[in-house]
Amino acid sequence: MQASEIDWDAIYAEQLPRVYNFFRYRVGDGPVAEDLTAITFEKAWRGRMRYRRDRGAFTTWLFSIARNVATDHFRKNHNELSLDEARDQPAPVPLEETVQRRHDFSHLSMLLSRLSPREHELIAYKYGAGLNNRAIAQLTRLSESNVGTILNRSVNKLSAAWEAEDER
């Protein structure tokens, strides 16, 4: 499928929530996730003529752009916490009007930031964007089994951290 044959409106409807949630799981709720989503789609639109693969690979192409956007963001802002720094972060305090779900996501975001950048990234692809292990492997140039192993380890870490926080 050539770039000129792509239904960009359909792509937009289909991929916007996935890209947006990828960034939410990377940087948390708020305007930053929206800004990074917008940059991704603007770059995709400008670079659309470079895309020459089938529709199935389009998601990979779009998320490779999203990945670069995320990398640029963290490089510029230096706000991806190191493991040691993250350990010292207090649990987020929910605002009065914040619903439980938002509080839980805020809590999850904080725990995600304690993972290594690679683990955090894979979680965002898997549970934010809804990509399968094969697509994640293509994006990250890891083997599919390696992706599965890292994800499994990351979820176990998150689970343990979540329970530990609950017990405090």
Partner 1 sequence: MNDEFLTQFREPPRPAFAHALYERISQEKVSLRAQLAGRLTLRNALAGLFALILVAACVYVLAAPKWVEVDKHLWVQERKSTDSFLVGSEPPYYFTSPLLSIEEAKIQAGYEFKVPTWVPSDLYLKGASLFNESASDYSRAYIFWGQGESADVPWELAFQAFYTRMLIMDKYYPESFGMYVGRGSTKMTEVNSIPAVLIRGDWDYHKVFETLPSPDNGFEWDKQAALQLLWKEGDVVYRIYAIGSPASAEDLIRMAESAR
Q: Which helix (H) or strand (E) holds 32?
A: helix 31-46
Which one of 18-26, 59-67, 131-139, 141-149 is the stretch in contact with partner 1 (CB under 8 A)? 18-26
Q: If binding is defined by CB under 8 A, does position 41 make contact with partner 1?
A: yes
Q: Apex CA 28: angle with CA 70 and CA 160, to 5°?
A: 110
Compute how many residues bind partner 1; rule: CB under 8 A.
Answer: 29
| Angstrom distance (rounded) from CA 129 to CA 126 | 6
117 CB neighbour count, 10 Å cutoff: 16
Stretch that binds partner 1, among 35-43, 65-73, 85-93, 131-139 (CB under 8 A): 35-43
Half-sphere exposure of residue 81, counting CA atoms within 13 Å on the CB side? 18
Residue range at the interface with partner 1 (CB under 8 A); choices 14-22, 85-93, 114-122, 132-140: 14-22
Interface residue list for partner 1 (CB under 8 A):
9, 12-13, 16-17, 20-21, 24-25, 34, 37-38, 41-42, 45-46, 101, 104-105, 108, 123, 126-128, 130, 155, 158-159, 162
